[in-house]
Amino acid sequence: TRGGYAHFMLKEIHEQPRALKDTYYGILHDVAVGEAVKLMHDADKIYVTAAGTSFHASYYFSLLMSILGKRLVIPFIASEYESYYLTASDKDLLVVVSQSGETMDALKALRAFRNRGAGVVAVSNVVDSAIPRESNIAVYTRAGPEIGVAATKTFTTQTLVLSWLAIAYAEASGSLSKSEADMLRGWLGRSGEVVGKIIARLEPVAKRLAEWFRSVGNAYYLSRSIGVPVAMEGALKLKEIAYIHAEAYPAGESKHGPIALVEEGFPVIFTIPNREDLEKLLLGNIQEMKARGAVIIGVASENTGLSDQLDYHFRIPDTHWILTPITHTPPQQLLAYYTAVSKGYDPDKPRNLAKTVTVE
């Protein structure tokens, strides 16, 4: 049941604190983690694949493996597997991320890699679904059933599990010390509590902003580094339930084309990870947008040095940047939700979309 909430999507957004805690305690004791890390170590090449929201989590994983683990992980969209699988052999590993565990595009990619002898690690929310069943190892999110078509709590919990795997890999391979790894795991352990505060604080802000967003025709979602998949997720939510054209891309690309579209009043949502180097780079991107009259919405730490640049500020408590998908996505889910509702749409049943796509 919707348990007093107007929609499943809103209920599931609010379930994130609990879903993150359950996922954290689940993975803390999961023996599959060690086995997955061993497969990652032994692999010649590592690929990660998924569709939609799960691909955004996968892309985050590849960035984290590079930043923390100093290891290249090749991300690709599941329906594009035919352009990749011929490069795989029995020395390689494919990580498949799928909340339902039944997405046909992801399953086809898995089978193509298996046929070439590659090992497979699944990350799923549904125990014993097709993708985990056909994998060597399965690691689970513990988000509970997700009814709303738009993925919410399954995304933030996927990024928790994938962060955990990247940290474990980086620690085992010596690129992170035990104390650094423990510190990062500590942040993951507190993420549920932090998200509870974020939702309570920012739901009214999202609701107010939605009153303007209901009338916009386009929006850009920009960030850099590990913020980029979060921007991609923010844009997808707005598209799929509020039917507003939204485009996400790494902020440095603006001057290579997209800024041509920006004029007075054009909304640009910046996902700003809590990292000084990224804030510095994003400052230039914010200024070039403002110079063309863009309205700047920043999802950023409450202590960011960029706050006077922002027309709207979703104030995120000061946390470690590794939590960016967990801390910076919920306000963007809420913005999409309230925009859809104020336009009179049912966010639980977006047009043309099914919860699980079991056809190619």
Taking CB under 6 A as the binding criterion, the range among 15-23, 28-36, 45-53, 331-339 that sits at the site for ligand F6R is 45-53
Residues with catalytic annotation? 355
Identify whether the C-beta of residue 58 lies closer than 8 Å to the C-beta of residue 49.
yes
To ligand F6R, the closest distance from the beta carbon of 316 in angstroms equals 22
104 token code pair:
């046909």
Q: How far is the CB of 106 from ligand F6R (least distance, A)?
A: 5
Q: What is the pattern of x (binds ligand F6R, CB under 6 A) and - over residues 136-155?
A: --------------xx----
- Print the binding letters for residues 1-40 with ligand F6R: x by CB under 6 A, - otherwise: ----------------------------------------
The rounded distance, in Å, linking the Cα atoms of 306 and 281 is 11
Six-digit token string for 206 = 């999202």
Decide whether 100 or 225 has the Cβ nearer to ligand F6R. Answer: 100
Task: Give the separation between CA 196 and CA 194, rounded to whole angstroms.
Answer: 5
Nearer to ligand F6R, 50 or 168 (CB): 50
CA 196 – CA 45 distance, rounded (Å): 38
User: Of how many residues is the chain composed?
Assistant: 360
Q: Does residue 106 bind ligand F6R (CB under 6 A)?
A: yes
- φ/ψ of residue 312, rounded to 5: -130, 140
- Nearer Cβ to ligand F6R (53/159): 53
Give the residue, chosen from 19, 40, 51, 323, that forms a contact with ligand F6R under the rule CB under 6 A: 51
Q: Which stretch binds ligand F6R (CB under 6 A): 39-47, 94-102, 214-222, 259-267?
A: 94-102
Q: How far is the CB of 174 from ligand F6R (least distance, A)?
A: 33
Interface with ligand F6R (CB under 6 A), residue from 7, 17, 52, 60: 52
Alpha helices in 214-344 (DSSP H): 228-242, 276-290, 324-342
Cα gap 354→360, rounded to integer Å: 13
Radius of gyration of the chain from Cα atoms?
A: 19
The values of phi and psi at residue 139, to 5°, are: -115, 135
- Interface with ligand F6R, residue 329, by CB under 6 A: no
d(CA 139, CA 37): 11
d(CA 269, CA 227): 12
Q: Name the residue with the smallest CB distance to ligand F6R.
A: 52
Asked if 79 is part of the footprint of ligand F6R (rule: CB under 6 A), the reply reads no
Q: How far apart, in whole angstroms, are the C-alpha atoms of residue 205 and residue 11?
A: 18
* Cα-based distances in Å from 26 to 20, 21, 31, 53, 316: 10, 8, 10, 22, 26
267 forms beta bridges with: 295
Q: Between 52 and 331, whose beta carbon lies closer to ligand F6R?
A: 52
Residue closer to ligand F6R (CB basis): 17 or 148: 148
Token readout for 270 is: 């910046």
Specify the residue, 51 or 300, whose C-beta has the smaller distance to ligand F6R. 51
The token duo for 35 is 């086995």
| Residue selected from 16, 23, 49, 54 as contacting ligand F6R according to rule CB under 6 A | 54
Number of amino acids touching ligand F6R (CB under 6 A): 15
Under the binding rule (CB under 6 A), the answer on residue 103 touching ligand F6R is yes
Residue from the set 53, 223, 309, 332 that interacts with ligand F6R by CB under 6 A: 53
- Per CB under 6 A, 356 contacts ligand F6R: yes
DSSP line for 32-58: HHHHHHHHHHH-SSEEEEE-HHHHHHH
Rounded to the nearest whole angstrom, what is the least distance from the CB of residue 98 to ligand F6R in the complex?
Answer: 3
Chain residues in the site for ligand F6R (CB under 6 A): 51-54, 98-100, 103, 106, 150-151, 236, 240, 356-357
